[in-house]
Amino acid sequence: MRTLCAIALLSYLAAAPAAAKDLYVAQDGTAPFRTIQDAVAALPDNSPERTTVYIGSGTYQGPIVLPESKRNVTFLGQNTKTTVITYGFGAKDRFPRGQSDIYNGACVVVLANGFRAEKLTFCNTAVDRGAAPALRIEADRAMIRHCRVLGLQDTLVVNKGRMYFRDCYVEGQIDCISGSATVVFELCTIHSKDGGYITASATPRGQRFGFVFLRCRLSGVGESAYLGRPGGLYSNVVFLNCVMGSHIEPHGWDDSGDLDSVDTAYYGEYNSTGPGANRTKRVMWSRQLSRRDAQEITVFAVLRGSDGWDPDKIPYEGGQAW
C-alpha cells in the first residue's frame, strides 16, 4: 500500500508545474514535508510571486495558520475528498496556552493576502462547543475553488477583504457563513444540517456588498433553515439565480430579536427557483431585486476594488476536481 501511495504521489508531483520555490507535503515521507504547518514555515516572506504548496492525499491535523507575511500562496490538494485538513475544537474548549487568541477554535486560519486553495476539504468536527470554524479567512483577494468546508457552527468565517468561492461545498448549521468581508459564492452548494442560519453577515457601514450568491444550490436536511440573520446593523446578503430546496424557511430571513437591524439590513433575492424560493411569505423587510439591479451584480463588479481584481480570469491550478 505504501508503494502504491508513493507511486500515486510521484505521478501527481510529476504533473505539477516545476518550480524551485514550490513545496510538497506528504504524510508518508515521500515529500520533503510531512505536515502542512512545516511547509508554511518554509514559505518565503512577503513574496510578490506565487508559491504553491502541493498536498498529497491524507488527513492532516489542524490547527494551521498562514501568517500575514506568507502572501500569494496556493494550497493545492491531490484530491478534494481525500486531501483533508481536520480539527476538533470549538470556542468553548480549553486551548493550549497562547493558542486561543490565534486560532479561536478554527481548523485553518488565513491572515495572508492573495491566498488560494483548490481540491481540499477543511473540516471541524466539534459539536456543541460554540463557534468551530473549519476555515477562517482575514485577508484580501482570497480564492477558494473545488473545496469542501465542513462544520456545524460558524463553519466558514470570512472577515476582512474580498473573497471568491467557486464550485465549493459548504456545510453547517448555526451561522454557517459569517463575517464582514465582501464575498462572492458562485456555483456552490450550501448544505444546512438540521435548520439554523445560512448566513450571519456583519457588513460594515458603507461597504456596498456583503455576501453574494450567484447560481448556487441550497440543500438541507431536518428542520427549516433561514437564509440569514443579522451579524451586525448593516448586514448585506443577496441570492441571485439560485436553486433553493424545500428546507428553506418560508419567511426567508430572521431578525433574531434585533429590531434595529431590520431598518439597516439589505437582504435581496432575484430569480431563484425551487420550493424554497417562494416569495409569498417572505418578511416585508427583505426585497425582490429588479432585473436591472440584478444585472449590475457580477463577480467583477462586486470584487474588482481599486486594483481591478477579476478572479474569473485566473486559471485553475489543479484542473477540475469533482
Q: Which residues are catalytic?
A: 154, 175
Give me the residues paired with residue 200 across strands: 178
CA distance 240 to 216: 8
Secondary structure class of 293 (helix, strand, coil): helix
Work out the number of other CB atoms within 10 angstroms of the CB of residue 221.
12
Tell me if 133 sits within 8 A of 105, measured CB to CB.
Answer: yes
Amino acid in position 210: G
Q: What is the DSSP string of 213-245?
A: EES-EEEEESS-EESB--SSTT-EEEEES-EE-
State yes or no: cis peptide before 311, omega within 30 of 0. no
Name the H helices within 98-178: 100-103
Determine the Cα–Cα distance for residues 92 and 80; give it in Å rounded to an integer: 29
DSSP 204: P
Q: Report the candidate in 227, 216, 312, 229 with the shortest Cα–Cα distance to residue 271.
A: 216
* Amino acid found at 113: N
Neighbours of 42 (CB within 10 A): 12
Query: What is the C-alpha separation between 274 and 151, in angstroms, rounded?
Result: 25
Q: Is the bond preceding 63 in cis, omega lying within 30 degrees of 0?
A: yes
Q: How far apart are CA 182 and CA 15, in angstroms?
A: 34
Which H or E run includes 73?
strand 73-77
The C-alpha cell at 55 is: 498536498
